[in-house]
Structure 1
Amino acid sequence: MNPRIYLLAIAAFVAGVDENLVGGILPLLAHELDVSLSAVGQLTTVFSLTFALCAALLLVMTARVERRTLLFAALMIFAVGNLGSGLAVNYWMLLVFRVISAASCALVVVLASITAAMLASTEQRGRAIGIVFMGISSSLVLGIPVGIALGETFHWRMPFLLLALLALAIGLLLRGVLPRFPRRSPITLADYCSQLRNPTIMLGQLVTVLLLAGHFVLFAYLAPYTQQTLGISGVPLSYLYCFFGLASICGGYCGGWLSDRVGSKCALLVVPALFTLVMATLPFGRNSLITFLPLYALWMGLSWTISPAVQNYLLQAAPAAGEANLGINTSAMHLGVALGAAIGGIVIAEGNLLLTPLVGALVSALALVAACLCLFLAREPMELSTPRGNL
């Protein structure tokens, strides 16, 4: 595997940490900026919405810019956004710089995936994207703990300032080691619209939306769920999230590996099928820690296999529109997160917290239906690819 892909994964990791760290310093921000916890919590909402809206939009606006140069510029703007966040003197200044950080973060993540795919051979493309998603998923392990550790030890500004410094260093390093990529035909809004009108491509995108929505029906409320079922809360709960985060890191790589080994079409079908099956069995493991840990770790790992599998499928299904579809897919991931959290909220509002795994499984079953329809409309035989040797 091209070693520069691992550096792209680090860039994705830094971007992912920025998205998650505010959750760990909510009380500190509320106290220092003299605003409510609810208001500070909206920083995360604004970040996610900006991310979803900008992932595809910014690719259109920067279509004529050479990709190495664009990635460097995105990381520099990301550094400025976090520097401004770390120096913010009030809530509104912090909100503005969080929007800047989110927009540049979206561009960094999608460009990391695109660049990794361009650097890898066709046979290793799925694994290359999976490595980038290992960086993103590992940020879930460290995002909140890093925010807590640095915020409590030094100041709430420290995590933002550290991310600005890391983005600057990684940007300079990537500018030095990445090749200049040949210019391609610019991506226009019409290109995006044509992909959105393609039923096969849209069904592939829908697999991402529905599977992640099913996952977040439970994951968004995993803390109260584990507290009610196993009585786990406080510090032990943070350890549990770290354990699940490690499973997510493995899942990101396994999704890319599976896509390379069995073919992108087969992986598009296998991943939602396995995920739905495992999520439907989650209620059977909630009464004992011995069964809870392995079963729920498997569920977490499978949730991160879908993005590399879908993105590899999209690249192979429409090579000429690869950047457009990866941009749309990045937005689709955040749409799935928001949809799943909203469905889970409705379930909990009805007093049915313990039903969230089953409701999530029903939603992810729709992802399996979308995958089946996608492959049916493609009208191409789905065959296992020939094994390509050991990793």
Structure 2
Amino acid sequence: MTTISKQTFSTYDKFVIFILSITQFTIILDFMVMAPLGDLLLKDLHISPKDFGIVVSAYAFSAGTSGLLTAGFADKFDRKKLLLLFYFGFIIGTFLCGLANSYLTLVMARIITGLFGGVIGSISMAIVTDLFSLQQRGRVMGFVQMGFGASQVLGIPIGLYIANKFTWEAPFFMIVALSLCIAIAIVVKLKPVNAHLLEKTDKKPLLHLWHTIRNKEYRIGFLATVFLSVGGFMMMPFGTIFAVNNLGVHPDQLPFLFMVSGTCSLVIMPFIGRLSDAMSKYKLFVIATLWMLSISIIYTNLFAIPLWLVMILNVLLMIGIMSRMVPSQALTSAVPMPKDRGAFMSINSSIQQISGGIAAAVAGFIVYQDTETSPLMNYNIVGYVVAGIGILGIILMGRVNKMIAKRQL
């Protein structure tokens, strides 16, 4: 299949965008639904907060490991077949999460889910890069990343409702049912994505992986991803704790808070995608990063404030996060050559997952609570660290932008 060069989207193009978006939605929903289930899991499985942290991080580290293990093979197969293989593995892992009846079985199920689910994002990115021109990718990324906002709008409120109505296992079975419908649509409607196979390479999988890592230009992209992921994951795990114990948000108000910020993401993502295609992607990234860092510093230094103000600040923060995510992913997608695209995306996805897991762990050493209900201390320090890392991210993404511009001359 040839790369689509036109600026308008055909009916099939729209199907590809939709199926990748909803696939991404289920992957993110599977990860996001863990947060509201924390209290139920602690009580039902009789585990500690530390144990719950391990359950959450097990997914990230297994996903990162999986990306590295599959990177050498990613460009050897039709991307449709690869997507289906890992998506069915993800469905099995999620089903096992619903069957888990102990701490150990849940950790094992999350590891299996991460091993398969963590690679799907990179496969989707490779498909987008194969089928859509750089001038179109901002809009495509905008729609695909709507899964993040949709998971907040639907994942947390629906996950809490179903879990409270039935059991904590029920949301996982809901995701399995939805994912099976999506898998059938991929089998029936998605055409093979195999144009990259025409570019013959004699490299063996491990050698292909090694050569991809050794490429100096690729390493610049990987390093940029490290700083973007570390900055993004340091604040996230402790956001709910800070909102409840420092800002005075009642636990019952949390679903509404996430729903508002998630709805904002759904509304703004298509606009950001179009804006990313209409202006310099790097310029948009810089503006969005500076915006996000400013809000982060303000937010992490706050004390008890009204709920409406917390919502406004969360929306402003989400605008910054989404506005830098779309152009940065579009720029990163232009780094690899077609023959290395699958390997690059897999390694990049692994780096993203592992960096995020490390960032969350480091932030855990910075913040602390005297008791379970006392204010979260040193969260403002996390905000300052995120700001410093964000500036480094701007510098590295600038190098990526120059590298891409030089190629197009």
Q: Given the two structures, how large is their TM-score scaled by the length of structure 1?
A: 0.84
CA contact (8 A) 2:134 2:334 kept: no
Read off the aligned partner of 1:313 and give its amino acid letter.
L
Q: Given the two structures, how large is their TM-score scaled by the length of structure 2?
A: 0.81
Query: What are the ranges of 5 or more consecutive residues in structure 2 without an aligned counterpart?
Result: 1-8, 370-376
Match of 2:342 among 300, 318, 323: 323
Match of 1:306 among 313, 319, 324: 324
CA contact (8 A) 1:66 1:182 kept: yes
Q: Percent identity?
A: 22
- Partner residue, 2:142: 130
Superposed counterparts of 1:152-191, under 5 Å: 152-182=164-194, 184=197, 185=200, 188-191=205-208
Q: 1:342 to 1:12 in 2, by over 3 A?
A: same
2:245 aligned with 1:234, yes or no?
no
- Partner residue, 2:228: 211
Superposed counterparts of 1:35-54, under 5 Å: 35-54=47-66
Task: Give the count of matched residue pairs.
Answer: 383
- Note the alpha carbon deviations across 1:55-100, whole angstroms, 9 max, x for none: 3422434543322122222222222222222233444333333222
Match of 2:37 among 25, 28, 32: 25
- Partner residue, 1:3: 14
Superposition deviation, residue 253 in structure 1: 4.2
Superposed counterparts of 1:209-358, under 5 Å: 209-250=226-267, 252-254=269-271, 256-282=273-299, 289=306, 292-320=310-338, 321-349=340-368, 351-358=377-384
Deviates more, 1:337-346 or 1:29-38: 29-38
Q: 1:103 to 1:65 in 2, by over 3 A?
A: same
CA contact (8 A) 1:268 1:306 kept: yes
Deviates more, 1:137-146 or 1:182-191: 182-191
Superposed counterparts of 1:356-371, under 5 Å: 356-371=382-397
Q: 1:254 to 1:277 in 2, by over 3 A?
A: farther
- Note the alpha carbon deviations across 1:293-346, whole angstroms, 9 max, x for none: 434322222223334323322332333232222222322332342343234333
Superposition deviation, residue 269 in structure 1: 4.1
Superposition deviation, residue 49 in structure 1: 0.9
Read off the aligned partner of 2:384 and give its amino acid letter.
L
Paired residue secondary structure (1:155): coil
Equivalents in 2 of 1:267, 1:128: separation in Å? Answer: 16
Read off the aligned partner of 1:148 and give its amino acid letter.
L
Equivalents in 2 of 1:119, 1:61: separation in Å? Answer: 20
Read off the aligned partner of 1:337 and give its amino acid letter.
G
- Partner residue, 1:389: none
Read off the aligned partner of 1:3 and give its amino acid letter.
K
Equivalents in 2 of 1:14, 1:76: separation in Å? Answer: 12
Read off the aligned partner of 2:316 and give its amino acid letter.
L
Superposed counterparts of 1:130-149, under 5 Å: 130-149=142-161
CA contact (8 A) 1:16 1:140 kept: no
Equivalents in 1 of 2:96, 2:241: separation in Å? Answer: 34
Superposition deviation, residue 240 in structure 1: 1.6
